[in-house]
Amino acid sequence: MKHIKLSKYWESLRSSYWFLPTLMATGAIAVAFALLAIDRSGAIDISNTSAFSWIYQGGAEGARAVLSVIAGSMVTVAVTAFSITIVALQLASSHFGPRLLRNFMQDQGNQIVLGTFIATFIYCLLVLRTIRGEDYQLFVPHLSVTVGVVLAMVSIAVLIYFIHHASTIIQASHVIVDVSHDLEQVTNRLFPETLGRDLDQQDEGAKDVPTDFEAAAQPVRSEKTGYLQAIENETLMQVACDEDLVLRVQAFPGAFVMTDSPLVMVYPADRITPDIAKQINRAFVMGRELTKQQNVAFPIEQLVEIALRALSPAVNDPFTAIRCIDRLADGLARLAGRELPSPYRYDQAHHLRVIAAPVKFETLADTAFSQIRQYGSADSVVVSRLLAAIAAIAPFTRHSKQRYILQQHLEAIWQSSQQNLNHPQDIQTVEEQYHIALAALQRQN
């Protein structure tokens, strides 16, 4: 349970603009005190010009002027960078959808840029306050001032990087590649096996379900409302083993769960206690928004959302939609070759304990293709690329059920195009691609 919640908190921290800049500011404070201690110790002798010629050689007034200029400019640049970031977020929300904002918030490039400017500003302030002129006990932290100048030059380099980075991250191609990488990562994490069980055969675990399960089981209901972000499977297994129960999970990551809606069906019902209900509820991690933590459909939905916005009359950008379709094909081809785990989970004594909500290739394929088909069926280029995507996925399928699902989408895309395309040349192009995709599926049988 701790691992899942720590992962959730880490994702929240990564999505914040305060965490990494705060760490960098804290580091700047530590560096400032350390260098000031070296300056006070007298370890740096600026009169030794041969060894320390690179260190600041000026007096107190010059040190104050240098650090004041650096600190003031860093505030100005930080405000400008923050303004540019807000504009980038607004563009991302309007062009790619508000659900993509989390990806931009997690971009560490922007966080490092803001952190660098803030850290340089704080460092200069801390060093500036220690400089004393001849009217007081003279103290000029030569090494600390030198490091402040170095930080200013680093900040200039970071500013140049930020200008390039800010103009890059809002490009459609960059956003699509980032989301497809998320899809690849979550696929590798949730489905690490590349050789799966035979989906053409019925799962053997069904025979171990108690015959009176439907009549004797009762639900444990949710105590919260929100999106189900993750399920701690080990906690459910531990509860089922300790109390000699069979649990069937009713909700799946990515689902919206309302208060008092069933989370788990518990068999037998007479063993349900308030303590067991609380333990089961703690195994379900809720949140205000969807995440990709245990939800492989989430990055697929993000790619579909980008494609749908690109196909809208207000944008009318089929090339962006085509890029999304290509990435969806890559993701589904990878998923087709992975082992989708059995929903039936057993304890060490091989007693059935948990029936999980299964991840189905059918659901993922429907998420990827259905809405794009509905919105893009009047565009011959988009339709052809959808058909080409199915042809590209076909060689990676390992089971007849997967090919049957793809053929259903193939027929639906073909029929929709026949209803919405008018020009004979467009119809002919789509028909040729349809036969290519159909042949690719049939070759795998």
Torsion of CA 23, 27, 30, 34, to 10 degrees: 170
Residue 262 falls inside a structural domain? yes
pLDDT attached to residue 90: 80
Give the domain range for residue 437. 295-341+359-443
**Mean residue pLDDT across the chain:** 87
Instruction: Point out the domain boundary residue: 256, 287, 318.
Output: 287
| Local structure of 311: helix, strand or coil | helix
Q: Are residues 308 and 222 in the same domain?
A: no
| Local structure of 96: helix, strand or coil | helix
Per-residue pLDDT for 183 more than 50? Answer: yes
Q: Are residues 399 and 274 in the same domain?
A: no
CATH number at residue 243: 3.90.1170.30
Residue 97 falls inside a structural domain? yes
Confidence category of residue 108, pLDDT binned at 50, 70, 90: confident
Q: Are 379 and 421 in contact (CB under 8 A)?
A: no
Rounded mean pLDDT, 318-330 = 95
Instruction: Point out the domain boundary residue: 262, 287, 312.
Output: 287
pLDDT attached to residue 50: 56
Residue 177 falls inside a structural domain? no
Q: Are residues 215 and 74 in the same domain?
A: no
Q: Are residues 129 and 247 in the same domain?
A: no
Per-residue pLDDT for 40 more than 80? Answer: yes
Instruction: Point out the domain boundary residue: 170, 196, 228.
Output: 170
Per-residue pLDDT for 205 more than 50? Answer: yes
Residue 193 falls inside a structural domain? no
pLDDT attached to residue 3: 64
Confidence category of residue 172, pLDDT binned at 50, 70, 90: confident
Q: Are residues 107 and 124 in the same domain?
A: yes
Least reliable range by pLDDT among 165-169, 259-263, 280-284, 431-435: 165-169
Residue 113 falls inside a structural domain? yes
Q: Are residues 143 and 244 in the same domain?
A: no
Confidence category of residue 54, pLDDT binned at 50, 70, 90: low
Rounded mean pLDDT, 358-367 = 91
Rounded mean pLDDT, 216-225 = 92
Summarised one tens digit per residue, pLDDT across range 226-256 is 999 888 888 899 999 999 999 999 988 888 9
Q: Are residues 283 and 299 in the same domain?
A: no
Tokens of 188: 């590798």
Q: Are residues 241 and 385 in the same domain?
A: no
pLDDT attached to residue 120: 96
Confidence category of residue 82, pLDDT binned at 50, 70, 90: confident
Model confidence, pTM: 0.83
Q: Are residues 219 and 330 in the same domain?
A: no
Q: Spell out the residues 6+ positions from residue 319 whose beta carbon is closer than 8 angstroms to its own.
A: 310
Per-residue pLDDT for 200 more than 60? Answer: no
Q: What span, in angstroms and rounded, lies between the C-alpha atoms of 394 and 437? A: 8
pLDDT attached to residue 195: 41
Residue 218 falls inside a structural domain? yes
Residue 432 falls inside a structural domain? yes
Count structural domains, the chain: 3
Q: Are residues 262 and 311 in the same domain?
A: no
Q: What span, in angstroms and rounded, lies between the C-alpha atoms of 182 and 177? A: 9
CATH number at residue 334: 1.25.40
Q: Are 103 and 179 in contact (CB under 8 A)?
A: yes
Per-residue pLDDT for 201 more than 60? Answer: no
Per-residue pLDDT for 432 more than 90? Answer: yes
Q: Are 61 and 133 in contact (CB under 8 A)?
A: yes
Between 429 and 107, name the one with better pLDDT: 429
pLDDT attached to residue 394: 94
Q: Are residues 107 and 155 in the same domain?
A: yes
Per-residue pLDDT for 141 more than 60? Answer: yes
Q: Are residues 106 and 232 in the same domain?
A: no
Peptide bond into 299 cis (omega under 30): no
pLDDT attached to residue 46: 60
For 53-97, give the DSSP string: TTS----HHHHHHHHHHHHHHHHHHHHHHHHHHHHHHHHHHHHH-
Residue 34 falls inside a structural domain? yes
pLDDT attached to residue 202: 46
pLDDT attached to residue 411: 95
The winner for highest mean pLDDT among 92-101, 106-115, 206-215, 365-374 is 365-374
Between 361 and 105, name the one with better pLDDT: 361
